[in-house]
Structure 1
Amino acid sequence: MNEKKLKRTLVIIGATLMVLICLFPFVWMVVISFTKDATFLGSPYVHFEFTVNNYRTVLSDPTLHFLDYFKNSVIIATLVTVVTVTVSALGAYAVSRIKFRGRITVPIFVLGLSMFPQISLVGYLFKFIERLGWINTYKALFFPYVAWTMPLALWILLSYFTQLPKDLDEAALIDGASRIQTLYKVIIPLSAPALFSTALLVFIAAFNEFMFALLFTTDYRARTVPVGIALFQGVHGEVPWGNIMAASAISTIPLVILALIFQRYIVSGLTAGALKGG
């Protein structure tokens, strides 16, 4: 076997192992969700009995409030994504395109703030939110989530915007466009891959966040899916792994759908094609 074939074989083996490692937890979750009397670490194949009761219970049992948790997560994650990506796009455009004093320190300052772990801030945030009377409301999660995901979105968009030539802005400004018009008519269309990737990452981060949702919410009116699933144990007095895995499987559906929808937009060469066309 020559070096080229050996390299290809090793790449195939490595890629296969990576796929199997990544997919195994998901496959195991689905298997347990369809198993009666399943245990998390035990083998569901020993006495496997197929059932959809776990899904039926999760979707229909009013004491679990799973649909309420799911609705809260979707609403909060969507609002956070829209606001975060919009503000980050404006900030990234300003830092990458407009010359002003201290513009380099802005992203560094934002990045520095993001290095503080959640646990170091949650106590102060709780007192602040409690004084505002926002406990167990969407606002209690919306503003912390925006602040928490903003550095990620800003740096992704900033790194992409800086790669776009400034000749595009100058041409648009010469044609009479304002800065805002240049942003949403020129820069944003060319930055579609970065915007969709950023939106997907922000949505996933907000949808899956646990600590803030655990401490700032008290019941199903504002509680999100991760916390709701974690508290299934308290509702039943035991660990209902079948219900937990069924709820987890359902919760992954919007994330999978978003990834499939955005996949066709996340392509390379849009900027190069626009430049060639110009």
Structure 2
Amino acid sequence: MDATPKQKWSLAAVSIPVMLWTLIPLFWIFSLAVKPQSIQADKKYFPREFSWENFQLITTGTASDLFNPALVNSIVVCLIATIISVVLATFCAYAIARLNFPGKKLILLVSLAVSFFPVISLVTPLFDLWRNIGLFDTIPGLVIPYLSLTLPLSIWVLSAFFQQIPWEMEQAAQVDGATSWQAFRKVIVPLAAPGVFTTALITFFTAWNDFVFAISLTSENARTVPAALAFFTGASQFEQPTGAISAAAVIVTIPVVILVLIFQKRIVAGLTSGAVKG
């Protein structure tokens, strides 16, 4: 049923203030990023001067040796962690949704509990273990801890999507001569594509925004952007690197915005999958 004009105006009255409240900090970060260093202390919301010097500083200037490798590390680590998590979670969620075996509910409960487990409590034992076995400051040394963040969340989310897929469709494919693997690959996975895309984006964002593991388990070689920002310095000990940090924040936000814009239809389809039965 279509919304009435009154309902649309009511929704707009609630949505617009929320959107403005969300966008104001983002615009403020962009304002700091385009302000020259000489007027960073200016408290005006809109900059009096517009400059790209902060972006040049972190991409080609003195901070590029710190920022550029960290950006590459973030992309590599997050993509690897996302791919592994989504692939493993797809098989696990399918088994949970389709098979009856002892401990099935326990797996989901443990996955949910691990998702809420405080990350900071894992850092110290991982730091000691990684130093002893040679995984400290390496790409695998970050991917493995990221799996502990992303895999339980992926399993929990994908399980709900697979449970909404009619079991009869897979049975019909098997009756037509398809093997279990062919039915899963050609019938179930395409139907679950919206949920897989949604889960992949959530997983990617979780890994992309991590700071605790990145700052604790890396030194220089595998440091990601959130950790690298903590090592930005000003031109002198009395100068804060506000502009450089803001410019870096703008740059690392761009991939997130691009992914959302490209896959927004699949995200909406995934988030609303199973909301209406029948």
Give the structure-1-normalised TM-score: 0.88
Alignment check: 8 A CA contact 2:57 2:63 kept = no
State the Cα distance separating 1:14 from its structure 2 match: 1.2
The 5 Å alignment of 1:35-114 reads: 35-37=35-37, 38-39=39-40, 42-43=43-44, 45=46, 48-64=48-64, 65-114=66-115
Superposed CA deviations along residues 156-209 of structure 1, whole A, max 9, x for unmatched, are 110111011110121122233333322221111111111111111111111110
User: Which residue of structure 1 lines up, in the alignment, with residue 136 of structure 2?
Assistant: 135
Alignment check: 8 A CA contact 2:195 2:273 kept = no
Unaligned runs of 5+ in 2: none
Between Structure 1 and Structure 2, how many residues are aligned? 269
Alignment check: 8 A CA contact 1:164 1:271 kept = no
The 5 Å alignment of 1:77-226 reads: 77-219=78-220, 221-226=221-226
Q: 1:41 to 1:197 in 2, by over 3 A?
A: farther
State the Cα distance separating 1:40 from its structure 2 match: 7.3
Alignment check: 8 A CA contact 1:217 1:223 kept = yes
CA distance in 1, matches of 2:158, 2:110: 16
The answer to whether the aligner puts 1:228 opposite 2:218 as a matched pair is no
Letter matched to residue 78 of structure 2: A
State the Cα distance separating 1:225 from its structure 2 match: 0.5
User: Which residue of structure 2 lines up, in the alignment, with residue 21 of structure 1?
Assistant: 21
CA distance in 2, matches of 1:236, 1:94: 58
CA distance in 2, matches of 1:151, 1:183: 22
**Secondary structure of the structure 2 residue equivalent to 1:104:** helix
Once the two structures are overlaid, the 10-residue window that deviates more, 151-160 or 107-116, is 107-116
User: Which residue of structure 1 lines up, in the alignment, with residue 251 of structure 2?
Assistant: 250
Q: 1:63 to 1:268 in 2, by over 3 A?
A: closer
Alignment check: 8 A CA contact 1:136 1:218 kept = yes
User: Which residue of structure 2 lines up, in the alignment, with residue 33 of structure 1?
Assistant: 33
User: Which residue of structure 1 lines up, in the alignment, with residue 11 of structure 2?
Assistant: 11
Letter matched to residue 230 of structure 1: A
CA distance in 2, matches of 1:271, 1:256: 22
Percent pairwise identity = 35
State the Cα distance separating 1:120 from its structure 2 match: 1.4
CA distance in 1, matches of 2:256, 2:7: 34
CA distance in 2, matches of 1:235, 1:134: 34
State the Cα distance separating 1:7 from its structure 2 match: 5.0
Alignment check: 8 A CA contact 1:70 1:224 kept = yes
Q: 1:210 to 1:73 in 2, by over 3 A?
A: same
State the Cα distance separating 1:254 from its structure 2 match: 0.9
Alignment check: 8 A CA contact 1:57 1:243 kept = yes
Unaligned runs of 5+ in 1: none
CA distance in 1, matches of 2:42, 2:189: 47
State the Cα distance separating 1:23 from its structure 2 match: 1.0
Alignment check: 8 A CA contact 1:192 1:266 kept = no
State the Cα distance separating 1:60 from its structure 2 match: 0.5
CA distance in 1, matches of 2:174, 2:203: 31
Letter matched to residue 12 of structure 1: A
CA distance in 1, matches of 2:141, 2:41: 33
